[in-house]
Amino acid sequence: MSSFAVAPDHPCLPGHFPGRPVVPGVLVLEHVLEAIEAEHGPLPDGLALPQVKFLQPLLPGEPAEVTLDGAAPRWRFRVLRTGDGALLASGEIAL
């Protein structure tokens, strides 16, 4: 399990969305990839995302956790909000 939070002053937040910032999905996926690399080493270029669902927004400063299942060539992931365990995103990443 890998925990993270996106700082409220992250440069991507002012434009996503003005007045009510939410963490962009691509930034959530970046943390998923970091969690995979922390457990399994560097990943090659050319990854596929056969399935990704964003179910609830992640807010700036809100802590979240990435859980992984599987191994190369395919990992399943879940991103949960720390505290209440709400499912924020899930999917698969494949080589």
**Annotated catalytic residue, options 10, 16, 31, 40:** 16
Query: Across the chain, how many H-helices and E-strands are there?
Result: 1, 5
Looking at residue 16, its pLDDT comes to 83
Q: What is the largest CA-CA distance in the chain?
A: 40
Q: How far apart are CA 54 and CA 56, in angstroms?
A: 6
Whole-number pLDDT of residue 94: 97
pLDDT band at 17 (very low <50, low <70, confident <90, very high): confident
16 is catalytic: yes
The correct CATH number of 2-94 out of 3.40.50.1820, 3.10.129.10, 3.40.50.720, 3.40.50.1000 is 3.10.129.10
> What local confidence, expressed as pLDDT, does residue 10 receive?
94
Tens digits of residue pLDDT in 19-64? 899 999 999 999 999 999 999 999 999 999 999 999 999 999 999 9
The radius of gyration computed from the CA coordinates of the chain, to the nearest angstrom, equals 13
By percentage, how much of the chain surpasses pLDDT 90? 91
Distance CA 43, CA 59 (A): 28
Domain residue ranges in the chain: 2-94
Structure tokens at 12: 């991507």
